[in-house]
Amino acid sequence: MEAAAHTGDPFAPAAAAGIHRIAVPTPFAVGSVNVYLIDDDPLTLVDAGPNSGTSFDALERGIAALGHRLEDIELVVLTHQHIDHLGLVGLVAKRAGAEIAALDVAVPVVERFADEAEADDVFAGELMRRHGIGDEVVSALQSVSRAYRSWGAPAKVTRALRDGERLTLRDRSFEVQHRPGHSPTDTLFLDRERALLIGADHLLASISSNALISRPPAGSDQRPRPLITYLDSLRRTRELDLELVLPGHGDPITDHRALIDQRVGMHDQRADKLHGLIAERPRSAHELAQSLWGNIALTQAFLTLSEVLGHVDLLLEQDRVVEVERDGMVRFKAVGAPANGQQP
């Protein structure tokens, strides 16, 4: 870590371990995505960026600046299913003749990208209507989502990784750890010897990772509770002894426990705030989002719904609120509050 203090480059300790960050631009609000080149045998790329010419050029230049060619990549490892990480994986692997490794649960999502994205949109539409978002917003948001879809692309996974298995390169070995929450396929790569974790979007230094609601796995009709899943995952990560976490966006994290404690505290506070609003009168998730953030930008409607439902799930689990459904619409009611709540 001393090297970092000297050079001012927060990625210097990673580079000293042969892991080089390439910032690849994205068209999304999050800014650039961190792709990592692991200078090892096989020459490995972790994620690849979104599917666009601009991103591809930046990736190719970044690899060249590190003394390699994109065609030299032998293995591409995927951290999770989101398009800002996944989009170029298939193209890069094809150009380079590289293997693609991804967690087994990610394989169908990655290989049938378009069908999966379409099914996600249908699920999201139903969920939004059920929780109080109007039809116009739902269909507008689905057009936006379809437009965004071109930044993703399918890829053929040649090596399916299992949770707990080892991914061994010449100079290092990673433990593969499934840590769902931010997405259902979040995969961490842990180098215990170096106390180094490639964490992708599981834990970010400057912004709280969204625990986005996603479609339940085939065969389940339960709405997933991503924030509860995510908090469990964070607790597991907190137990690891780490010196460096390499995230999917922004700077590395050197004190993961303090950051995790801060995130957990923030989620508890937000749940309390929502409980206060629900105690005033029963409200839908969309009404709760409006109370918290006022007029919500169209493109943020699903994000804020995920955020609210995640925290309401915490309250449901603690038996502080109940879900009341009427005419296909869900409202949340505080436990012990009057049945019909006073409308202001």
Q: Which residues bind Zn ion (CB under 5 A)?
A: 82, 201
Q: And the tokens for 165?
A: 């298995």
* Summary count for the chain: helices (H), strands (E): 12, 13
Q: How far is the CB of 156 from Zn ion (least distance, A)?
A: 21
Which residue, 120 or 201, is less far from Zn ion as judged by CB? Answer: 201
Q: What is the DSSP string of 298-339?
A: GGGHHHHHHHHHHHHHHHHHTTSEEEEEETTEEEEEETTS-T
Q: Could you count the other beta carbons within 10 Å of the beta carbon of residue 195?
A: 13
Q: How far is the CB of 183 from Zn ion (least distance, A)?
A: 6
Which residue, 233 or 284, is less far from Zn ion as judged by CB? Answer: 233
Residue nearest to Zn ion (CB): 82
Which residue, 132 or 184, is less far from Zn ion as judged by CB? Answer: 184
Which residue, 201 or 313, is less far from Zn ion as judged by CB? Answer: 201
Which residue, 17 or 46, is less far from Zn ion as judged by CB? Answer: 46
Amino acid sitting at position 237: T
Q: How far is the CB of 33 from Zn ion (least distance, A)?
A: 9
Q: How far is the CB of 76 from Zn ion (least distance, A)?
A: 17
Which residue, 121 or 201, is less far from Zn ion as judged by CB? Answer: 201
* Sign of the four-CA dihedral 92, 97, 102, 106: positive
Q: What backbone phi and psi angles, to 5 degrees, belong to 36?
A: -115, 130
Which residue, 39 or 232, is less far from Zn ion as judged by CB? Answer: 232
Q: How far is the CB of 208 from Zn ion (least distance, A)?
A: 13
Q: How far is the CB of 138 from Zn ion (least distance, A)?
A: 23
CA distances from 250 to 23, 82, 92, 200, 240 (A): 9, 16, 23, 10, 21
Answer for the pair 51, 150: CB distance below 8 angstroms, yes or no.
yes
Q: What backbone phi and psi angles, to 5 degrees, belong to 266?
A: -65, -40
Q: Strands of 19-24's sheet, edge to edge?
A: 19-24, 33-38, 44-46, 75-77, 99-103, 159-161
Answer for the pair 120, 97: CB distance below 8 angstroms, yes or no.
no
Q: How far is the CB of 306 from Zn ion (least distance, A)?
A: 13
